[in-house]
Homo-oligomer: A and B are copies of this chain.
């Protein structure tokens, strides 16, 4: 990283103000989610494909002191999500809101600042990150967010959402790699073939956020 910083300093790239950015379109990694009121604590492995608008989440955690396990495949282009259980070989198919939110810093975000996590004094000791803040419209409510991504690569590090119900919700990303380490994760397993679309009267299609 030191070499990169030196190149940047001499080329003047750090003289430019950071700009809102989009994360790599294909990513695989892990994330943890927790809320300030300690009701929710979860850990997930994710596979993310912004090109095909597909997300796979294999999650376990606890909500209200009850543990849960969730394995979902979100296919935004088709407007469906699958709830998958390998143990029981069952698959539930539900409607999904088609609004795919790519991992990106919104264009109207404000820069909070640029810092080094760890240290820039030696190789491998730190990473340069930018923190952004703003407001998002979520289900007719505005929610404040604070989002940290790496300066090089726009890889997500932490996202905070503030809701009046649960206070701050912290999502930490880690072990992210660029690309799909297992593309098959984004294809419904064979036992999902016969799953019928569950439609409940008056129920809104699921969104990414309604999963948590």
Write the residues of chain A forming the contact surface with B, with a CB cutoff of 8 angstroms.
Answer: 1, 3-5, 24, 27, 29-30, 36, 115-129, 150-153, 155, 157, 174-179
Alpha-carbon separation in the docked complex, A119 to B174 (Å): 7
A-B contact pairs, 9 of them (CB 8 A): A1-B1, A4-B123, A116-B175, A119-B150, A121-B176, A125-B153, A125-B155, A126-B155, A127-B127
Given contacts A36-B36, A174-B116, contact A122 B30 (CB under 8 A): no
Are A150 and B174 within 8 A (Cβ)? Answer: no
Alpha-carbon separation in the docked complex, A157 to B125 (Å): 10
Copies per assembly: 2
- Selected from B3, B30, B115, B150, the residue in CB contact (under 8 A) with A118 is B150
Are A119 and B176 within 8 A (Cβ)? Answer: yes
Shortest distance between the CB of A108 and any CB in chain B (Å) = 24
Alpha-carbon separation in the docked complex, A25 to B204 (Å): 57
